[in-house]
């Protein structure tokens, strides 16, 4: 998938409220296809671009775009905001997905590892079943500068199970 330049990026001084997340900022692209699986799905491979930007506010904006590794068909998009609780390592992701799912994930930042878990979910009344009930997501900056993401989820038919795993490189 061709990388996109983050459309909402504006150079600005990084707000100190989110300065401990400066390692996320920029554009990232999957190194090789990520792996997706779930008991109710056929295993798949995907590519993904991540865009993290700030505009001088105490938030970070993000956009994630995932495509099928073979067909390049768009699979999934997420966009939203990252906030930190002042004076703590508590982080919140506010996420809207093209599937209609809206989530708030909260967790902790420890060094260059961000661990998040669902706090709230909302979806349209006509959302496709099975419904996602919980999401757990971990971002980890590796010593080699690559960013790794693992996402697990549960639905009303499956317990918490790893769903996605992918590694990214920062684009110059």
Residue 129 to residue 126: CA distance in whole angstroms:
9
Residue ranges for the chain with pLDDT beneath 70: 1-11
pLDDT digits (tens, 9 = 90+) for 59-109: 999 999 999 999 999 999 999 999 999 999 999 999 999 999 999 999 999
Residue 119 to residue 92: CA distance in whole angstroms:
9
Find out whether the peptide bond into 132 is cis, omega within 30 degrees of 0.
no
Q: How far is CA 115 from the centre of its chain?
A: 11
Q: Left, alpha or beta for 71 (phi > 0: left; psi -120 to 50: alpha)?
A: alpha
């Amino acid at each position: 998938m061709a990388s996109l330049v983050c459309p909402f990026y504006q150079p600005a001084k990084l707000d100190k409220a989110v300065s401990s997340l400066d390692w996320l900022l920029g554009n990232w692209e999957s190194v090789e296809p990520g792996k997706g699986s779930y008991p109710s799905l056929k295993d798949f491979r995907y590519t993904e671009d991540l865009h993290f930007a700030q505009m001088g506010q105490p938030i970070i904006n993000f956009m994630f775009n995932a495509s099928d590794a073979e067909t390049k068909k768009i699979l999934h998009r997420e966009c939203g905001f990252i906030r930190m609780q002042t004076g703590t390592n508590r982080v919140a992701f506010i996420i809207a997905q093209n599937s209609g799912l809206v989530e708030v994930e909260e967790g902790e930042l420890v060094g260059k590892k961000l661990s998040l878990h669902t706090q709230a979910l909302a979806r349209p009344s006509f959302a496709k079943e099975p419904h996602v009930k919980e999401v757990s997501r971990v971002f980890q900056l590796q010593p080699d500068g690559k960013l790794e993401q693992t996402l697990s989820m549960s639905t009303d038919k499956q317990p918490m199970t790893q769903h996605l795993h992918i590694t990214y490189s920062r684009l110059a």
